[in-house]
Amino acid sequence: MTRSLRVGVVGLGMMGRHHARVLRDLGGVELVGAADALGDVHGAAGGAPVVASVAQLLDLGLDAAVVAVPTAAHEPVAIRLAEAGVHALIEKPVASSAAGAARLVAAFASAGLVGAVGHVERYNPALQELRRRLDGGQLGEVYQIATRRQGPFPARIADVGVVKDLATHDIDVTTWLARSPFARLAALACRRSGRPHEDLVTVTGELEDGTLTTHLVNWLTPFKERVVVVTGEHGTFVADTVSADLTFHENGTVTTGWDQVAAFRGVAEGPSTRFAIQKREPLVVEHEAFRDAVLGKPTDIVSLREGLGIVRIAEAVLESARTRTTVEVTA
């Protein structure tokens, strides 16, 4: 019988504690310990030993680890894991800079290890179902992808702004859904809360396949909104990733004979359907994918190279906001 993978968690803060919770109950995995200099403040380890350093965690004997420390520490922690021959799931963004992300890609590739990035929104059931339906041609040609990711400032974030912390979700989801990378973008950003990093950004972009995109992201809105709207030839999908609901507003085929109503409504009305979909916790699905990748099974992880591309786009957003120019994106 194959033994369980021995997995550890580095960092038991806001995300690390949830990784530990999921790993405690994940089939085929044993949570053997966690590392956090502050200890297990939230009681997330469930009795597994909690040590103060990565070196002490490695002494417990690991096959894989989750890196859930602040973004600035992703690179040194993950490099230490790669040197020790440990596979890693690294929280997003994968590194604080594209240069750092490239070093991680090289380190894990040269060691023959699995490296994945925790872009957990890919595993949201609404977006999984949306991608399945887009791939099946239900929308026809895709014209536009628009995202809104708004909410209050999270006290857990101190080392990056809203672009690298939040907008990276939308960058990843957009290119993943469309199966096309960004070609160019323009962005505006500002700071309104007195913190050192940007807390509001608006982005318009064009993908290589011609799809237009818009993204509104901030830490200033007193309610939480997570919405992806995909408009195309046959109508519009709306995915709410907070409730994991997916709705399709279909273009109609019935001609409206009332001229005033037709002029007001624009595109002919069709039926609207909110799909009944299985809703599993995205973090659990993400960990199942990472576990299977470590075991050499076919699976869908966000690779380190993909994570590098996302950081590059985030840096292009910041460059555009700084220069007030449209930035051509290079691979």
The DSSP annotation for 236-289 comes to: EEEEETTTTEEEEEEEP-SPP--HHHHHHH-SPEEEEEE-------HHHHHHHH
With b for 16 or more beta-carbon neighbours within 10 A and e for fewer, the 157-196 pattern comes to beebbbbbbbbbbbbbbbbbbbebbbeebbbebeeeeeee
> Could you tell me if 201 and 181 lie in one domain?
yes
Same domain, 176 and 270: yes
Could you state, in chain order, the average pLDDT of each consecutive group of 10 residues for the chain (331 residues)? Answer: 87 95 97 96 93 97 97 97 98 96 98 98 98 97 97 75 93 97 97 86 98 96 96 97 96 70 63 94 98 95 97 97 95 65
Residues 188 and 295 in one domain: no
Tokens read off for 123:
């595993």
- Classified as helix, coil or strand, 83 is helix
For residue 1, the model assigns a pLDDT of: 41
Name the pTM for this structure: 0.91
In a domain, 207, yes or no: yes
Q: Which of 19, 25, 23, 22 is nearest to 118 (CA)?
A: 19
Structural domain includes residue 166: yes
- Say if residue 187 is in the same domain as residue 321: yes
Residue 263, pLDDT score: 61
Q: Are residues 150 and 248 in the same domain?
A: yes
CATH of the domain at 320: 3.30.360.10
Residues 220 and 322 in one domain: yes
| Same domain assignment for residues 266 and 181 | yes
Asked if residues 172 and 119 have their Cβ atoms less than 8 Å apart, the reply is: yes
Domain limits for position 187: 124-277+311-328
What is the CATH number for 288?
3.40.50.720
156 lies in the same domain as 235? yes
Dist. CA 51–CA 9, nearest whole Å: 10
| 159, 100 contact by CB (below 8 A) | no
Is residue 306 included in any domain, yes or no? no
Instruction: Give the residue among 120, 181, 186 at the shortest CA–CA distance from 326.
Output: 186
What was the pLDDT predicted at 265? Answer: 56
The answer to whether residue 219 is domain-embedded is: yes
What's the confidence (pLDDT) of residue 197? 87
- The answer to whether residue 36 sits within a structural domain is yes
- Do 115 and 151 have their domain in common? no
At residue 149, the pLDDT reads: 96
- Residues 258 and 290 occupy one common structural domain: no
Residues 166 and 269 reside in one and the same domain = yes
Domain count, the chain: 2
